[in-house]
Amino acid sequence: MAEIIAGVEIPDTRAVAEATAFLAETVTPLLYHHSRRVFLFASGHASVTGLTPDPELLYLAAMFHDTGLVRRFSDVEQRFEVDGADHAEAFLLSRGFSRTAIETVWNAIALHTTPGIPGRMGPEIASLNAGVLVDAVAVGLDRLDPDLVTAAVAAHPRGDFKTGFLHAFHDGLKDRPNTTYGTINADILAHFEPGFRRGDMVERITESAWPS
């Protein structure tokens, strides 16, 4: 029987069940509960905006979207969002998903922290970004059904989410600071890492090898 939280059905598929079990064991409880809330809030956003994402793909994107912050997933010097997208791709490939479906999930995860672009893309990409914004910074929270919000937090408690989430970001990024260039992730290192200096696009242009 499918699990339903405040009217939002958790997709009842083998891939969903396997991803849920796998990530419950491999990511922190904070990131697991965050990811499940993101799916619920993304689904709620889709409902109020008329988007129709594929529920299974949206769920898988939500569950993998922050896996790049976890040490066991982060063995490549690249943005954590790309780490998560790559691991979701491997998971979906091993289960026979189509290339179109894999590209949808990959793009949704890779773009989930990028301002201004996901909302102009497909429903899974736009909805995931909206769900992340709701849970991380409360953008769009006021548009959601209060019963959904209450049920989501009851099923997947926030606890001291603000502090824990910032520390999870810091832990996932501090050993690869160069990957944060030009992203919101640099904000985390600027706050927590003494001596961290953001990359500067003006300097990159003025100090490039071009004479003019």
Q: Report the mean per-residue pLDDT for the chain.
A: 95
**Within-domain flag for 140:** yes
Instruction: Decide if pLDDT at 187 tops 80.
Output: yes
Instruction: Decide if pLDDT at 71 tops 90.
Output: no
**Within-domain flag for 150:** yes
Ranges 42-51, 55-64, 170-179: which has the least confidence: 170-179
Contact between 184 and 166 under an 8 Å Cβ cutoff? The reply is no
**Within-domain flag for 208:** no
d(CA 69, CA 80): 6
**Within-domain flag for 206:** no
**Within-domain flag for 182:** yes
**Within-domain flag for 13:** yes
**Number of domains the chain contains:** 1
* Domain containing residue 126: 4-201
pLDDT in the model for residue 6: 87
**Within-domain flag for 207:** no
**Within-domain flag for 126:** yes
